[in-house]
Structure 1
């Protein structure tokens, strides 16, 4: 059965200062707008994930909350995975490999540089650094979640908030 992974880099967050721990940085007004625009675009494009996994860091969780809301999904169904925050690309792979087989589309919210490395690891595509709020949609043909690994996916789409806004 085909599996689809939608990787989402968190939207723009407030700058890091000595007063705010990195983990606690929130989305700024630009980030709130980016997340809403991407959620609206995903909904209009008919993207319907059946499971959502997010880093628990404030900026990633809020991005997940906004996008899932635009997709008609209650935030209470978001699954947080603490390893995604600073766990390296291997933590993203672990999160994907442990998704139950009854789900066919996973939306995973995380951070750079790991999420960009992970997208490249899965597809062999050179995405460079994923922009804040951007998404990469990766398809896997005839694989179980547990079988997903290096270069097993096909990059279907990469979209940034700027591209979505230009199309409006």
Structure 2
């Protein structure tokens, strides 16, 4: 049996807002288009999650909403600017076979680098830009058995490729 992780950094957020905090920053127009494109791409790849684990920040919530994925979601403060160790701990508590995890850099990027056996040959994997999405499979039957450097990359995409930008 395998477990599959869809590891997505939130889409592009707005900086010129009156948001009262970083946690409350919304997506910008490009970010909204990117989130929709990511959702469409996942549907086309037949890679939809059974469950979503997400930072509680507004930009991750909006990314999930615009992806139009009908899976139960848990929004948690633990994933807001989480370290790779916290991300690993959150995943090890999960129960579903296919998970979408939505989070933030730099922790998400560092986690992506640590969890794969061999990185994808994509120029943007190194910096994991907004909306970057990694599909990775693990030869485990339960997330509590997840170990670093054990993931097999299935795909990696950035929204600009999907939008033709």
Q: Mark yes or no: TM-score above 0.5.
A: yes
In the comparison of the two structures, how many residue pairs are matched? 160
Greater than 2 Å deviation, 4+ residue runs: 16-20, 124-127
Aligned to 2:130: 132
Matched, 1:92 2:87: yes
SS at match of 2:101: strand
Distance 2:83 2:74 in 1: 18
Q: Deviations over 1:58-83 (max 9, x none)?
A: 0011101111x2x3x16xx2111211
1:66-145 paired onto structure 2 within 5 Å: 66-67=66-67, 69=68, 71=69, 73=70, 77-100=72-95, 103-124=96-117, 125=119, 127-145=125-143
Contact 1:36 1:66 in 2 (8 A): yes
Distance 1:98 1:2 in 2: 16
Structure 1 unaligned regions, length at least 5: none
Q: Deviations over 1:68-106 (max 9, x none)?
A: x2x3x16xx211121111231111101110012xx2100
1:151-166 paired onto structure 2 within 5 Å: 151-166=149-164
SS at match of 1:48: coil
Q: Deviations over 1:24-82 (max 9, x none)?
A: 10001111010011111111121121010110000011101111x2x3x16xx211121
Judged with a 3 Å threshold, the aligned counterparts in structure 2 of structure 1 residues 151 and 140 are, in CA distance, closer, same or farther, namely same
What TM-score results when the alignment is normalised by the length of structure 1? 0.88
- Considering only aligned residues, what root-mean-square deviation do their CA atoms show, in Å? 1.9
Contact 2:81 2:103 in 1 (8 A): no
- Offset of 1:20 from its aligned partner? 3.3
What TM-score results when the alignment is normalised by the length of structure 2? 0.89
